[in-house]
Structure 1
Amino acid sequence: MNTLQISLISLLVVAFVIYRQLRTRPAAGAATLYVAGAMVLVGLVTGGLFDTAHLALSLALFLVEAGAAVALGVWRARTVRVWLDSSGVAWSKATGWTILAWLASAATRAGLYFAGTAVGLTASTSSVLLFLGLTVGIQAYLVARRGRALSSTGARPDTFVG
């Protein structure tokens, strides 16, 4: 895949994920995890994750990007509202804070991209897919886990979990 194709796919996937998060939906859904897994897999197999001319620096930036992806996914997951309905089904919906966290995620990813190019690393679009897959996957996993935990505790219906 070329840079334009990967960029467009990434933007479409993020727009779709955010759109779905803004809708009320069951918290235990696994579809987003499959999409995130596919993004990570494509990011890994397309290659170019590391600049072989600056391997140590490239590896360090990769580790920072992976850590940021995980941390931002955790943060966004905490901003999603999770509750039980009257029948005991866990539901989730993004909040305004989730949108703000998405904007911070985009700014962080852009900042890391520009930091890498500023120090002379060759940019890779596969790292964008890997970053998005990790951050979306972590968020989806944690929201689903909160939904399962709420369902299994026998909490009274319409209970809200931050």
Structure 2
Amino acid sequence: MDTVQISLLVLLAVVFVVYRQMRTRQTEGMGNLITAAAMVVLGLASGGLFDTGHLALSVTLFAVEVVAAVALGVWRARTVRVWLDGSGVAWSKATGWTLLAWLASMATRVALYFAGAALGLTAATSSVLLFLGLTIGIQSYLVAGRGRALTGSRRRPDTFVG
């Protein structure tokens, strides 16, 4: 995939995920997890995650990106409102804090991109897909876990619920 295609895919995916998070929806839905998994697979399959000319530095920056993606996903998950309705179904809805955390996530990703460029690393746009896939996946998994905790369910849902 070229840079323009990846940029459009990333933009569409982020808009889709944030839009879905801002709507009231059941926490057991797996739509965002599927989107996240697809982004991770595409990011890995696209290759070029490491600059072979500066391998140690590239791997270090990659590790920082993974830690940041996970930490930001955890932070955003904590900003999502999760509750039970009268029939015992868990629901979630993002808050204004979630949008602020998304902005911080994007700013962090841009800062990491420019840090790599300043260090002389060849930037791989596929790493953006991997970063977003990880951060969306972590957030979705944790929000679903909070919903399961409220309902007392220990198992993952067997069916896809948008």
**1:81 alignment partner in structure 2:** 81
**Which moved further from structure 2: 36-45 or 144-153?**
144-153
Deviations 1:45-104 (A, max 9, x none): 110000000000000000000000000000000000000001110000000000000000
Letter in 1 for 2:68: A
Does the alignment pair 1:41 with 2:41?
yes
TM normalised by structure 2 equals: 0.93
Please report how far the alpha carbon of residue 123 of structure 1 lies from its aligned counterpart in structure 2 after TM superposition.
0.6
Deviation per residue, 1:24-56 (Å, 9 max, x gap): 000111111111011001100110000000000
Query: Where does residue 60 of structure 1 map in the other structure?
Result: 60
Which digits, 9 at most, give the CA deviation of each residue in 1:110-131, with x for residues without a partner?
0000000001000101100000
- Cα deviations across residues 123-145 of structure 1 (Å, max 9, x unaligned)? 10110000000000000000000
Percent identity over the alignment? 73
- Other-structure match for 1:134: 134
Specify the SS of the correspondent of 1:92: strand
Structure 2 residue 47 is matched with structure 1 residue 24? no
Map of 1:105 onto structure 2: 105
**What is the alpha-carbon distance in structure 2 between the residues aligned to residue 27 and residue 135 of structure 1?**
17
What is the rounded CA distance, in whole Å, between the counterparts of 2:90 and 2:14 in structure 1? 24
Q: Secondary structure at the match of 1:83?
A: strand
Task: Read off the aligned partner of 1:115 and give its amino acid letter.
Answer: A
Letter in 2 for 1:12: L
Do residues 150 (structure 1) and 138 (structure 2) align? no
Q: Which amino acid aligns with 1:69?
A: A
SS of residue paired to 1:82: strand
Aligned residue for 1:91, secondary structure, equals strand
Measure, in 2, the Cα distance between the counterparts of 1:94 and 1:69: 18
* Unaligned runs of at least 5 residues, structure 2: 154-162
TM-score when scaled to structure 1? 0.93
Greater Cα offset, 25-34 or 91-100? 25-34
Give unmatched runs, 5+ long, in structure 1. Answer: 154-162
